Amino acid sequence: MIARLVGFDTVSRRSNLPLIHWVRDYLASHGIESRLVPSPDGEKANLFATIGPRVEGGVILSAHTDVVPVDGQAWDTDPFSLVERDGRLYGRGTADMKSFPAVALALVPEMLKAGLRRPVHLALSYDEEVGCIGAPFMIHRIVEELPRPGAVIVGEPTSMEVVVAHKGCYALHTRVIGHEAHSSQLQRGASAVMTAARLVTFIDDICAENRAAADPASPFEPPYTTLHVGKIQGGTALNIISRECEFLWDIRTVPGDDAHRYIARVEAFCRERLLPAMRAVAPECDIRTELLAGAPGLIAEPEGEAAQICRALTGRNAMTVVPYGAEAGQFQEAGFSTVMCGPGSIDQAHQPNEFIEISQVAACERFLRGMISRLAA
């Protein structure tokens, strides 16, 4: 089953429909109806399905179907053909995160035979890797249409550790519009590039403030909300005062922090410090920031139903946190008890020659078989 799912090239820029339709047909062959929640353009879809009775108290097993690109990476094998070697399975998505849903799908016949008293809900999303874009459409439908689940387990690669909290992640695009002139006549122009540079420095200053005020007791590493500019481009030539410059940046919030307060500070800095001087030269100058995508952090609920289930099934009392974003916070925001627990290591995610240890797949099998027994009891 892992080989089948890895075999679908679901890099985020492509449609995931071939994989989704295959899963729908596979579940239908076992008499299970799937519900598809298409993207606004119809090019992609989420899928959720219920195995067992339509009653409250079930468990959602959640995974995203998209993977990151392989472009420019030095792979030793075809990324979309599973290769087994030395106790590992190699292929794009083996760790992040097709193995978890593959194990769940492979165990569907066992779920059907178990006489479940409470259901297993499968939830597969699109476009997690580009900002957790697809899951909210599905979560809305789940809230409306399913008997209330007792827990959500998001199968991100946690090495089967129970992860109770993750940071939020917000992606932003800022465009600075200046006024062109010859670079020997600075008084006649308003440089978009140099203005953007001041704004990038201001964003870095905010991050430095957070670093200085970090709570040393925080379990996160780093233990504060970070702001980071990852890509910038602008200008036409060395001797032209630039008209345009744009950059992409992100905010990764510790759970409970509000990304919008940082956006408001950046916008106020533009409005009060940068734009007046630019518009004194040319009234059409502007600075625009757009929130491209955002997902809230997962707030730790160590005594929540999801955490208790996973502790019981893994036999591990330790609960960890992770600095990256995921869809778990979106499920929690909708009112579900949620944790992350899945096979594979995040250290292999997004890497060339991505792999998962077969021992991790076996651990996931044991975990989900224990889940089936728990829901059948």
**How do beta strands 169-177 and 151-154 pair?**
unpaired
107-166: per-residue pLDDT in tens? 999 999 999 999 999 999 999 999 999 999 999 999 999 999 999 999 999 999 999 999
Phi-psi region of 296 (alpha: psi -120 to 50; beta: other; left: phi over 0): beta
Q: What are the start-end ranges of the H helices in the chain?
A: 2-6, 17-29, 99-106, 108-113, 135-145, 192-212, 259-269, 275-281, 305-314, 328-333, 358-376
40-65: per-residue pLDDT in tens? 999 999 999 999 999 999 999 999 99
Is 128 annotated in the active site?
yes
Q: What is the pLDDT of residue 133?
A: 96
Tokens of 68: 């990151």
Q: What is the pLDDT of residue 319?
A: 83
Residue 363 reports pLDDT greater than 90: yes
Is 284 annotated in the active site?
no
CA distance 342 to 163: 9
Tokens of 126: 């699109």
Residue 102 reports pLDDT greater than 90: yes
- Domains of the chain by start residue, with CATH: 2-166+297-376 (3.40.630.10), 169-295 (3.30.70.360)
**Catalytic one of 96, 128, 161, 357:** 128
12-21: per-residue pLDDT in tens? 999 999 999 9
Q: What is the pLDDT of residue 93?
A: 98
Q: Residues 259-292, buried b or exposed e (16+ Cβ, 10 A)?
A: beebbeebeebbeeebbeebeebbeebebebeee
Q: What is the pLDDT of residue 147?
A: 97
Phi-psi region of 163 (alpha: psi -120 to 50; beta: other; left: phi over 0): beta
* Mean pLDDT for the stretch of residues 199-225: 97
> pTM value?
0.91
169-185: per-residue pLDDT in tens? 999 999 999 999 999 99
Q: What is the pLDDT of residue 316?
A: 86
Contact 157, 346 (CB under 8 A): yes
Sequence-distant (≥ 6) Cβ neighbours of residue 369 within 8 angstroms: 107, 110
Q: What is the pLDDT of residue 198?
A: 98
**Catalytic one of 66, 127, 129, 305:** 66
* Mean pLDDT for the stretch of residues 334-339: 98
Tokens of 221: 């590493």
**Could you give the percent of the chain with pLDDT greater than 90?**
98
Report the chain's mean pLDDT, rounded to a whole number: 97
